[in-house]
Each structure stands twice: as structure tokens, then as C-alpha cells.
Homo-oligomer: A and B are copies of this chain.
Amino acid sequence: MARFETPRITIIGVGEIGRGWAALAVAAGWPVTIYDADAELLSPATEAIGDRVVSLIRLKRAEALVAEAALNEMRVGRSLLQAVAEADWVIEAIPEDLPMKLKVLRLIEQVARRAAIITSTSNGFAPSLLASRLERPERFLVTHPLHPVELIPLVEVVPTPNTDPACVEDIRFWLQMLGRAPIVFKKEVPGNIAERLSAALWRECIQLVVDGVLEIEDVDRAVSIGPALGWAASGPNLHHHLSAGEWGVEVYLGRVLSTYEALWRSLADWTQLNADDQKRLIRQIDRAYTKHAPELREARDQRLVRLLEALREQG
């Protein structure tokens, strides 16, 4: 297939994630069409996408002329057929409802060009399951972004065993053109990597709160001014490699792995938080943050933008 440098992109579903994809593609000057089965959502979504594009321009993540032109030309599909018919890349970004997703993916396939690539932003269902009702599963894969889509670079790209490798390469290319950092999975795994790591991390954080070791705010603060900075500077394997020093990598890593055994034995291993602890945890999070949520959100967003700016300047 010829690789388009500016694919026509259609986004189905205009919630948080769909809006993020639309803002990203508009910021890159691509021809974008949005569609939602709930037509009432389209007008507020158009406005929100506009705001997000303006914010990307302000952050110097989009060229004003290019992005404004694409924003003016952004189309709102009046039907799924009309929205999808001319697209090179269709992104399904509807809520995590399996029967609905299966149905919508099948409908998209029926009205899309044969050469179109269809991706789902789902994180809750296996890509193979999502592809299970498709007639052309070779043109389907998952592209799962993080929140906020237009800021965090990682996109988890998960093909199924039936996906045509050429589709994976096209998607990887397009994602890079959007300034994304695609990571291609060799196998499907629940939660891909980001959500799995979040689950592992959060469980241990919850345990520290439940055990009365730290307050909620201290846990969050410790993570964000401590280990998260190290992980953002290098992943965990590279981190350990760089710590080896005069020990040498083999000896050092063997030693680290054995000192970790005692820690692994001591980590939380429950798979369900009991009802009492759940109530207590939610109450503590609520008490710590609800009152100041708007300020905390603003601070978080600014912090994230600054972190991303810092990494981008580095080139």
C-alpha cells in the first residue's frame, strides 16, 4: 500500500480520548473527520478540540497556520458511512463496552475503503477479541494512547496474530508523524504495559496507606518527586545497568536480583481490595484532594507540560 504522508483520518467517538486524537491530527494539519452516534456530543466536542489545538499552538507543539487551517476544515460526519467512507485511518474511540465496540468496528469495516486501516483505542479488551467479528482482521490493530493523548508521547501499538505487518508499519509511521512514540507489542497482554505497571504500582501504594505507613499525600508526593523522576530519565532495566559501575553488569544485576527477593516476598499480593479498606482508601483520597481538585489539576497539568517541554528541548 502507498503510504500517505497526510492520511485522511476519521475518529469515531468524541469523548476524552477521541478529542485528544482529533486535536493531535488537526495540529499536524491532517484532514480530520469526527463522528459520534450521539449527535448532541459533536458540537461541544468540536469546541473542545478547538481549545486543545489552540493550547498545542500556545505550547509550540503545532504551527498556528497549519493547525488553524486544518481546524477550519475539520469535518463532522452526519452518518458513520459519510464519516468513514474516504478515510485512510479510522480510529475507534467509543466507551469500553464490548458488544458496542464489536458492533461499531464491524459497521466501520462495512463502510470503510478496503485499504483503510482500523484501530481501536481500547485498553480493556484483547485486540484479538475486538477483531473477532471482522471480515478483514488483517487491517485491524490497537493503538492505545495515555491521558492526555496529545501530551504523553507513548502509544501502545498492539497487532493481533492476524494483523498485516504492513499495517503495523503504516501506523507506526503515522504515529511518528504525529510526534508520538509508538511501542509495538510482539504479543497481546492484558493492560499492555502502562496499565499493568500502574496496577502494580498502585497496589503497593494502597498497601502503604492501608497499613498506616504513609498518608495519601505523602505517597503521591514521594512517587512524583522520587522514583518517577528516575523512571522518566531511564527505564528500570537501563537504570540498573547504569548502576553497575565497577561490579560489572552481570555480577551487579545478579546481586540486585537476589537482594530484590526479600522485597518481592514482602509486596502486597492481593488481587481484590477488601470492602473495608476500599471504603477507607476512597474516603482518604476524597478528604485529601476533593476540596482542592481544580488547583491540583491545574498544577498537575502545568507540571506535565513542563516535564514534556524539558524532554523535547533535549531533542
B300:A306 contact, CB within 8 angstroms: no
Main secondary structure of the interface of A (DSSP, over half): helix
* Chain A positions 289 through 315: 1 when the CB is less than 8 Å from some CB of chain B, otherwise 0: 110010011001111101111110110
Residues of B within 8 A of A296 (CB): 234, 238, 241-242
Does any Cβ of B come within 8 Å of A65's Cβ? no
Q: How far is the CA of A204 from the CA of B249 in the complex (A)?
A: 21
* CB interface residues, A 209-231, toward B, < 8 Å: 209, 211-216, 218-231
**By the criterion CB–CB under 8 Å, are B265 and A271 in contact?**
yes
Interface size on A, residues (CB 8 A): 108
Contact B194 A259 (CB under 8 A): no
Residues in A108-160 with C-beta less than 8 Å from chain B: 124, 146-147, 152-154, 156
Across the interface, A272 reaches (CB within 8 A) one of B189, B220, B261, namely B261
Q: Which residues of A171-228 are within 8 A (CB) of B?
A: 181, 183-187, 189-191, 193-205, 208-209, 211-216, 218-228
Asked if A44 lies at the interface with its beta carbon under 8 angstroms from chain B, I say no
| A152-B230, A234-B224, A285-B240 given; A201·B205 CB < 8 A | no
Identical subunits present: 2
Residues of chain B with a CB closer than 8 A to A293's CB = 241-242
Known: A243-B147, A307-B307. A223 touches B205 (CB 8 A): no
| Chain B proximity of A232: nearest CB distance (Å) | 4
**B contact residues around A227 at 8 Å (CB):** 146, 154, 193-194, 197-198
- Out of B152, B273, B281, which one reaches A226, CB within 8 Å? B152
Q: Give complex CA distance A237, B212 in Å.
A: 15
Q: Which among A226, A260, A270 has the highest number of chain B CB atoms within 10 Å?
A: A226
Report the minimum CB–CB distance from A141 to chain B (whole Å). Answer: 15
Query: Would you call B214 and A205 a contact (CB within 8 A)?
Result: no
Which residues from chain B contact A193 at a C-beta distance below 8 Å?
A: 205, 208, 213-214, 219, 222-223, 226-227
